[in-house]
Structure formats: structure tokens, C-alpha cells
Chains A and B, each alone.
Chain A
Amino acid sequence: MKKIFFKGAFYSLLIVLVLELVIRGFHLTKDYPIRIIDKNQVEKWKPNQNGYSVTGNRRQNFSEFRINNSGFNSYREFTPSKEKKEIALVGDSYIEGFHQDYRFSIGNKIEKQLTGFEVYEYAYAGYDFADELNLISKYKDKFNLIDYVFIDLKFNTDLQRGVYAVIPDRMNLETPFYRNLRKFKLLVYLNSIGVTGDLKTRFRELIALKIKPDITPSNENKLKEVDEINPKYLANFNTLVETYNFDKSRFVLLLEKRNTPNAFKNYLKANNFKFIDLSSDLEKSKTPTTLIYDSHWNDKGRSIVANAIVKYTRQLEFNY
């Protein structure tokens, strides 16, 4: 009996070692760039880093990212001036697009169609509306030079707070403990494909004597939830807009039906906010517009988003 335990432990260790080597060798898991909080109290990536982002168990998406001098993922540096035409895209991971090669970002797709424009992607995974407006406010010397600012807004997730503050949970990921854990690529891989999350959830359920696992609500239910406007979120929106002097002439919101209720769109219309609803263009696509294992836009989806921004910018330019 003892022999089985010792042999089992020895074999398990060897297998862990082999898996670690395979994951490193085939680069099956993503690199983590370093986060910082800069002197303006803005959370972003440490400038000038490179790495690879991987999505899916079998490297279904493999792309290089490049953090520029400003601390954002982009193929270019951000140097706005009065002489040039510029667009800023402010948002979360959807705009940031670690899952796509930085050379083919949304910004790049826009620049190819809008000659003479430079596009700056001020995006960071996890940003909500408070983060976004705080960023614009803290870097107002730069943003005042930019002609159009497109801000990604997911009503159901980005308006949970009405006041900006640094989120300590995210920064905890930069403690030595987490940094050392991330050195074990097998662990990072297991985490990214959902194994550790599933195990943790099931452990918690078993400890709470829940015999049957929780069933997550279907997408249909989620859509139903989306159609109801949350008064707290609307109040947060108004507070943030007032606090940061939201410039209705230059700022355009990017919305999607799957996370924004119709009532909110009507509210925006009534109050003269500019916005683009990306849903209709995304839904028209015959091929998938999101990645395999998450809801981020894939290359097709990002092209559609870029086209929508180009179309809207042309209208703005024409009206101007």
C-alpha cells in the first residue's frame, strides 16, 4: 500500500514537471505584464513591456502585446498635438485587445480607413466608467488635444460605483506572492482554462454541504436581466458625468445591446449624449464575432467595431 502512495506521488511530481515543460515549450499560457499606479493615481501597465497573450486551452489565440511609453497596449506612441487629427479609444479589455496582435488592433484598423488620423488606445483590462473618466481627467492636457474620444461603456458592469478610487484587489496581484505563483506556468494555465476556478467553487459548495453544483443562469435569462434599467447605475452614470465634466461634443459612448438596456439608450438620446450601438453590426455577421471561450471580440468583431467608429467619425467630420 505504501508503495502505491510513494510511487503515485513520485509519478505525479514527474508529470507536473513534464506538463510545466510542455506548457512553457509550446507557450500554452499567457504572459502577465506588470501593473502600476502612476503619479496621477491612474492604474495602468508599466511602460515599455512586451509579451504574448494566449486564449483557449490549445492556443486558439496567440498574439503579441506591446505596452508603449504611455503604459497602454498599442503599436504607436501617443503624441497628440493641435496640428494632427486624433481619436482616442478609452475602454477595457475589449478595446485593449491583448487577444489580438497589437499590430492589428482596432486603432490600426481605423487608421487604415481614416487617412490622416492617429488613433490612441487608452484601454486597460478591468476599467469601468469611473476609471475611464478619471483617466481622461488626469491626462486632460493630452485629451484636450484629441479631436474625438470614444468611450466603451457596459451599463450592467461598468457603473457599479459613482466615485473613482484605486481598486486594491487588482493591485494585490502585484504582491510578491502572486508574482511568484505566476512563475509556475502550469498553475497559470490551469487558472486560465478554468480548472482551478471550478475546483475552488466545488470545494466551497461541498464545504457548505451543497450536494449539487450551482447551475449558472442561461444567456436567455441574462438578456432578460439586461433589459431592466438599474436606478443605482443610472445615478452613478450621472454623478460621474457631472464630476468629470463629460464633453458631449467630443465624447462618444460605445454600447452593446447584450450589456446595455434599451431604456438607457433612450435616456442618452433624450439627454443629447452621442453613442454608437455596435450590436446591430455585430449581429449581422454570419461568422462568430467573439472568441471561443470568452466574449471578447475576435478579429472579425474588432473589424466591425472599427468600421462602426470610422463611419461615425466620418459623419462627425462631415457635420463639423
Chain B
Amino acid sequence: MIFNSLEFFLFLLVVGFIYWFVLKRSLKGQNILLLVASYMFYGWWDWRFLFLILLSTVVDYFIGIKIFNSDKQKVRKSWLWCSVLFNLGLLAFFKYYNFFVESWVNMFSVLGYSIKNTWTLSVILPIGISFYTFQTMSYSFDIYYKKLKPTKHFIAFAAFVSFFPQLVAGPIERASNLLSQITSKRVFNYNQCISGLKLMLWGLFKKMVIADSLAPIVDDIFINYSNYSASTLVLGAVFFSFQIYGDFSGYSDIAIGTAKLFGIELKSNFKFPYFSRNIAEFWVRWHTSLSDWFRYYVYFPLGGSKVSKLVSIRNIAIVFLISGLWHGANWTYLFWGAFHAIAFVPVFLLGKNSKYKNSTIGENSKLPSINEVFRMMMVFSIVTFSWVFFRSATIADAFNYVLRMFSVFTFESYMHPRGFRMIDYYILVALFVIYEYLIRRDERAPFKFKSRYVRFMVYAMVILCMLLFYDSKIDRSFIYFQF
């Protein structure tokens, strides 16, 4: 079931009604409902993989108790390793097995040995596996680091692992935030509900208007890149920057908004990343729940920045490479991660990785300074360049795309095979950037206007845009489902 579908709308109405009207006095009842609804939400796609989630839930539930009950550090560590190996084992089998086998066979063929590849398996990648395995692992880590006590309520824990708004594409929640809310009594809050509905509307806009309308253009350019001029390839990369942002941040907004309808606050996942002034700030603003996960559970345990510069650089490289690989079993993602590590290290060495942590562009003025605009454009260019690797089907395609983009720079106006009126899309993207700038101070309040009339007109315009760019012929699934 996807957020931008009729069945999700009906599903939400029914579950919301039972949750707040029938079960409003029973926390246990509400949690059971959340669990059933979440399993139904996931099972809508493929019910067979529900067993994987259940298995992951059972394993980490008991491992959490075992870690907590053990006094000996060695035993605690062994149990933690059990959790890590189990979850990574699931990922390794479903997501990376074929990739490693193929890479191994290719490596031998490069060395001149011909091996017949008979080991690859026809395995379906379960949707959201990277998200929920990371979430359950964070639970075991937090208990191991004594930041959390294990819960005794299995239903609540199972609801935490499978909480449907964020199950398949995040934000990846830590138990200290989400589980504590699931085990506490929830009371209907009008303002929270309204704020949730607003976020959902904004998320749907980003998905249906920005991402979905740019998708056919991006697809055409990336598939047929060898037929297009350099200017068109630049356009394809820029449009993909907006497509992936609209798609993923739109999903996160809908997830956060949906959770609010059930009285639960999820972490922000995107904080206007394209308004970043250096690459470190970009990573504080892009997919923050994943960045935090890597920071807490990989970077800090490796020593973080409290070790020598050289080791810190190694730690940064490890985090970005794993982050790349987390996105998918393909050399393109690995290269994308490596590229970001290379872009991040100079900022780290200059000690500017925390410079913009708590500020936004145009912090004390209506317009950004020229310096800020220049920095922002630089970061956007670097990130957009890296998306070429992220979006390309193979690493060879990515390099060919880049080569063609830089070898002969010719300008040619782009024409989509379906004859799209391109000016509409340029205006759309420009207006989107301007609007995002206007709301840049609070990612959780996209319609924060004092005047009720202005607010209403913005709602109407957002819905009108959804109609103006509605296309019944496109695939509406979210990009991050594949991860």
C-alpha cells in the first residue's frame, strides 16, 4: 500500500476511526490495532515477508532482554553480536548476496579466469528491509550502551518495529523516541492532528507534483543519455536532484504527518538540504535519521573525531561507504558514497563540519547574502553531480553520462518524446525553490502563515497544482522503497 493511493486513504479513515473512537481508552487496544494495521499495510504488498518482520521482532525482543539481564560485558557483547549478525544476515542474503557473487565472478574474469556463475539466486528484495533491520538493531545497541531499558510489552515492541507510517522508508526511529511514545497513553490533540494533516498535504505535493512530474523527464534523459547534448544531461541531473528530494522528503513528511494523526511524533528527516552552505551541513539536513544512525552506531564506536585526524578520515570514509552500500547493491551507490566522503573530508579538515549546524541561510534577513548563495550553489552542484552516480543503472553508464556532460558542452533545448511543455516544469521547480526558501525555518510547518486567507489560498493552490500535474500514466511508487 502506498501513501498516494485510494486504498491508503480508506485504510487511514478506518484505522483512525477505530483508534480514536472505539479504542481511545485502551492503550493496549490501540497498540494491537497499530500492529494489525501495520502488518496489513505491509502485507498489502506481499504478506509472505511479514514473517521476516516478525522474526526480526522476536529475535531483537529477546536479545534486548538478554543483554539487559547479563552482568558480564562479554556475554552482553555476544548477545549484541547475535542481533547484529542476524539483522545484517537478513540484509546480506536478501539485498547483497547476488551483488557479492556477481562482483566476485567479475573480478575473476578480469584476472583472466572464467567462472560459470551458478550461485546467484532469484530473490525478491523485501520492501523496507534496510529500514526496519536498522531500527531493530538500534534497539539492541541502545540497551547495550545502557541508554534504554528493554520493554516487557511484546505488542508495543512489535508495533515499534512495524509502525506503518515509517515502516518501509523511514524515518528510522530510535527506540528511545518511538517506543517510549508507543508505551505511553496517547490523547487526541487537535493541533497535533491539524499539523499532521498539513504535513501530509505538503508531502503529497512534493511527491505528486514535484517528483512524479519530473520522473518521466529524468527517466528519458538517463535512459537515452547517449542521444542528448551536454545541456540536456545537466538538466537531467538537476531534475533528478529535485525528483529524489520531492520523492523521499515527501514520503517522510507524509509519514511524520500520519504518525501525528495517531498522537505520535517522529523525527524530522529532511531540513531543506539544498539550502546547505557546505557538504557537512547537507548531511545534517539530508536523511537525518540515517545520518544519525551511522553517527551513533558506526562513527562514534569507531572513535568518531576524538582520534587522530587520519583515523577520523578513515571513520568518515567507512561511514560514507557503508551509507552508499546501504542504499543498494550496486557499484553506483558505493561510488556515490565514496564521492561524498571525498567531498566531506576537506570540510572536516578545515574544522567547518559543525559551522552551520544550528543556523539556516538568511538567518537574520529576508534574502540570503551573496556569499550564502554562492556556497549554496556550490553544494547543490556537488550533490547534483553525485546524483548522476546514484541514478545511473550501472557504473559504466554513470561515467559515460559524466564524460558526455563535460566532453563537448553544447546547448540544445530539450524536448521530451511525449512533447511535454518544458516551460511548465522550469516554472514549477523555480516556484518550489522560492516557496521552500520562504518556509526554510521550520520543516515541520509548511503552511505557517499568519493570515488565515493566505493559508487557505496556499492550500487551494497546492491542491490545484496536484491536478495540474496529475498524470494517470505514471508509476506512483516511491524511489526509496527499493532500498
A288 and B467: CB pair below 8 A? no
> How far is B44's CA from A198's CA once the two chains are assembled, in angstroms?
19
B460 and A1: CB pair below 8 A? no
Decide yes or no whether B296 CB sits under 8 A from chain A. Answer: no
| B110 neighbours in A (Cβ, 8 Å) | none
Given contacts A1-B188, A4-B193, A15-B459, contact A189 B467 (CB under 8 A): yes
Decide yes or no whether A166 CB sits under 8 A from chain B. Answer: no
Least distance between B399 CB and chain A CB atoms (Å): 29
List which B415-436 residues lie within 8 A (CB) of chain A. 415, 417-421, 424
> How far is B421's CA from A272's CA once the two chains are assembled, in angstroms?
44
List which B379-400 residues lie within 8 A (CB) of chain A. none
> How far is B7's CA from A15's CA once the two chains are assembled, in angstroms?
23
List which A264-308 residues lie within 8 A (CB) of chain B. 287-288, 290-293, 298
Decide yes or no whether A171 CB sits under 8 A from chain B. Answer: no
Determine the residue in chain B with the shortest Cβ distance to A197. B472
B467 and A19: CB pair below 8 A? yes
> How far is B417's CA from A179's CA once the two chains are assembled, in angstroms?
37
Least distance between B281 CB and chain A CB atoms (Å): 36
Decide yes or no whether A167 CB sits under 8 A from chain B. Answer: no
B44 and A193: CB pair below 8 A? no
B420 and A292: CB pair below 8 A? yes
| B470 neighbours in A (Cβ, 8 Å) | 57, 193-195
Given contacts A14-B456, A291-B419, A298-B419, contact A195 B467 (CB under 8 A): yes
B463 and A15: CB pair below 8 A? yes
1/0 per residue A192-218: CB within 8 Å of B? 011101110011001000010000000
Least distance between A7 CB and chain B CB atoms (Å): 8
A288 and B418: CB pair below 8 A? yes
B6 and A203: CB pair below 8 A? yes
> How far is B463's CA from A238's CA once the two chains are assembled, in angstroms?
52
Decide yes or no whether A22 CB sits under 8 A from chain B. Answer: yes
**Residues of chain B at interface, number, CB under 8 A:** 32
Q: Select B421's contact among A1, A15, A60, beta carbons within 8 Å.
A: A60
Decide yes or no whether B20 CB sits under 8 A from chain A. Answer: yes
Decide yes or no whether B194 CB sits under 8 A from chain A. Answer: yes
Q: SS class of chain A's interface: helix, strand, loop or mixed?
A: helix
A202 and B6: CB pair below 8 A? yes
Given contacts A15-B460, A15-B463, A18-B460, contact A4 B190 (CB under 8 A): yes
B7 and A202: CB pair below 8 A? yes
| B456 neighbours in A (Cβ, 8 Å) | 11, 14-15
A199 and B6: CB pair below 8 A? yes
> How far is B205's CA from A22's CA once the two chains are assembled, in angstroms?
19
| B469 neighbours in A (Cβ, 8 Å) | 57-58
A211 and B44: CB pair below 8 A? yes
Q: SS class of chain B's interface: helix, strand, loop or mixed?
A: helix
Q: Select A1's contact among B20, B415, B419, beta carbons within 8 Å.
A: B20
| A8 neighbours in B (Cβ, 8 Å) | 197
Decide yes or no whether A190 CB sits under 8 A from chain B. Answer: yes
B460 and A195: CB pair below 8 A? no
A292 and B424: CB pair below 8 A? no
| A170 neighbours in B (Cβ, 8 Å) | none
1/0 per residue B452-471: CB within 8 Å of A? 00001101100110011111
A11 and B459: CB pair below 8 A? yes
> How far is B471's CA from A191's CA once the two chains are assembled, in angstroms?
12
Determine the residue in chain A with the shortest Cβ distance to B460. A18
Determine the residue in chain B with the shortest Cβ distance to A57. B468
| A298 neighbours in B (Cβ, 8 Å) | 419
| B420 neighbours in A (Cβ, 8 Å) | 292
A198 and B472: CB pair below 8 A? yes
Given contacts A15-B460, A18-B460, A195-B470, contact A3 B190 (CB under 8 A): yes
Least distance between A4 CB and chain B CB atoms (Å): 6
Determine the residue in chain A with the shortest Cβ distance to B457. A18
**Chain B residues at the A interface, C-beta cutoff of 8 Å:** 5-7, 10, 20-21, 44, 188, 190, 193-194, 197, 415, 417-421, 424, 456-457, 459-460, 463-464, 467-473
Given contacts A14-B456, A193-B472, 18 further A-B pairs with CB under 8 A are A1-B188, A11-B456, A18-B457, A57-B468, A57-B471, A58-B469, A189-B467, A193-B470, A194-B470, A194-B472, A195-B470, A199-B6, A202-B6, A202-B7, A206-B7, A288-B415, A288-B419, A298-B419
**Chain A residues at the B interface, C-beta cutoff of 8 Å:** 1, 3-4, 8, 11, 14-15, 18-19, 22, 57-58, 60, 189-190, 193-195, 197-199, 202-203, 206, 211, 287-288, 290-293, 298
11 example contacts (A-B, Cβ-Cβ < 8 A) are as follows: A3-B190, A15-B460, A19-B467, A57-B468, A57-B469, A189-B467, A194-B470, A202-B7, A211-B44, A288-B418, A292-B420
